[in-house]
Amino acid sequence: MDTSGRGALDLAVALREAHFRLKALARSWEEALPGGRALERRPLGPSWSYDEAPDQAAYGDGQAVQLDEGSVLLCELAVNFRAAGVDMAARITLETDGEDCVDLLTTGPLEFPDSSDDLVREIRRCLASLEQADLTAVLTG
């Protein structure tokens, strides 16, 4: 086990990096829209939440891009920390008419992250998957 604190620092840096990558991704979507402008872009984090159980915490971050009066494109990262291990997911979804939600891309770790180094690597890999998604039809459609 790493007792130097380096793993915690690397994870904090990766989550900070994730925040700015999600923001840049949403900005690129906004710029790809006809006319180059969305109705609105707003942050969905970063935020931490804690359960009543002392060994659980959740981190969430993301961006929402209002495409038109009825459609919102979301990019999100969720990391759930538990004593039993960490789970995470990165996703792109399209909400229409405030009720319907279409999952365009969801990605998670290839393997259960056993260490902070593994988690940092998986966060970066999942964000790269979001950045490589081709949303041309959604953005121009």
- Reported as a single tens digit per residue, the pLDDT across 87-125 is 999 999 999 876 789 999 999 988 888 889 999 999 999
75 assigned to some structural domain: yes
Number of domains in the chain: 1
- The string of pLDDT tens digits covering residues 47-90 is 999 988 889 999 999 999 998 878 899 999 999 998 888 999 99
CA distances from residue 133 to 23, 28, 29, 83, 92 in whole angstroms, order as listed = 15, 12, 11, 33, 9
Please indicate, yes or no, if residue 1 is contained in any of the structural domains: no
Residue span of the structural domain in which 45 resides: 6-140
Question: How far is the C-alpha of 89 from the C-alpha of 71, rounded, in Å?
Answer: 22
Strands 56-68 and 71-82: antiparallel
Domain-located, residue 22: yes
126 backbone dihedrals φ, ψ, rounded to 5°: -65, -40
Residue 67 near residue 73, CB atoms below 8 Å: yes
